[in-house]
Amino acid sequence: MKKNKKIVIFIGIIIIILCISMIWLIAPTNNSWSSKLSSEKSAWNKSGYMDEAFNNCENVALNNLTRYDYSLYKLSTTPRNMTVASSSGLYTLKSYNDVFPIEYIKKIDDTHIYVAYKLIRSDEQIVYVYTVFEKSLEQFDITDGVEEKGEYEMWTSASEFYFCTKSLEYCDFSELKIGDTFQKANDIDYAISFDANFVSSNSEKSIFTAYRLLKDGLLIIEFESITNELDGSAKPPEMSEYMVSKMNFYKYGANETAVSGVSILNQGETIQLP
């Protein structure tokens, strides 16, 4: 009887240890980006906050990132060429973390970082998106509601993002030329179909721009509808009605002013692609 009692106690201790271990494994770690950003009361933090965080937080491997819904990301993010002030999308790094807990951040330069997300679409296609944030600096006093007077930083959306499904080089697009169809371009890199959801219109055509983050540089492909833009009640153009209208390739390391709104040219060659 005593022997059986000891066995039961031993088994009970093992079960408790296993339960504690499982809780520890599934609980957010203190050195995760999500935990770090969630613990902050405000999007404004003391200057140097992000540099310190880079020393303490760890990135999850790209292939192990949590999958988030692409349609929700599309609705939430600030479209290119639109200021965050005129967008209904998310604004700060902290607000992104509230909706899409962050697991991966890398530095571009002193004023820009990017967050890597893994997204899944309704057709089960998976894409990675590199979302860029830029730093703002402001001097605050105690009267502004901060605990300590000094310089503070906040990271906000740069309305700059890049969809990527696989590692490609510029030579992979060597057969693509002006006048080719959307389908031909998408057959080379189906990440272009994710860019196609951010269509804008000028006075005559519907257009969208695909920003291809490649191993050797950035390829910007502009597509425009073959038919003229009709009145507002008309059905928008199908993807089959778009063709390549412009193509420009920029090697990494080019001056950041070479392309408006593209900070990633500075350190693009260091970006880990899928």
Q: Identify whether residues 38 and 160 lie together within a single domain.
A: yes
**Per-residue confidence (pLDDT) for residue 30, from 0 to 100:** 62
Residue 80 lies in a domain: yes
Between CA 73 and CA 76 the distance in angstroms is 5
Q: Are strands 200-201 and 126-140 parallel, antiparallel or unpaired?
A: unpaired
Q: Sorting pLDDT into bands at 50, 70 and 90, what band is 272?
A: confident
pLDDT exceeds 80 at position 236? no
Residue 220 lies in a domain: yes
Same domain for 118 and 103? yes
| pLDDT single digits (tens) 50-68 | 999 999 999 999 999 999 9
Nearest residue to 216 via CA among 270, 256, 260, 151:
270
Asked if residue 253 is part of any domain, the answer here is yes
pLDDT value of position 262:
79
The pLDDT tens digits of the residues spanning 105-129 come to: 999 888 999 999 999 999 899 999 9
Contact of 102 with 34, CB cutoff 8 Å: yes
The number of folded domains in the chain is: 2
Give the residue numbers spanning the domain of 150.
31-164
Look at residues 145, 164, 183 and tell me which one is the last residue of a structural domain: 164
Same domain, 193 and 241: yes
Residue 55 lies in a domain: yes
The verdict on 159 and 187 lying in the same domain is no
Is 1 a domain residue?
no
Q: Determine the Cα–Cα distance for residues 16 and 144; give it in Å rounded to an integer.
A: 49
Q: Is 0.75 topped by the overall pTM?
A: yes
Q: Which pLDDT score is estimated for 257?
A: 55
Q: Could you tell me what percent of the chain has a pLDDT over 70?
A: 77
Same domain assignment for residues 100 and 203: no
Residue 205: pLDDT band (50, 70, 90) is: confident
User: For residue 209, what pLDDT band results from cuts at 50, 70 and 90?
Assistant: very high
Q: Return mean pLDDT, the chain.
A: 82
Beta strands in the chain (DSSP E): 45-46, 67-69, 105-109, 112-120, 126-140, 150-164, 200-201, 206-213, 217-225, 242-251
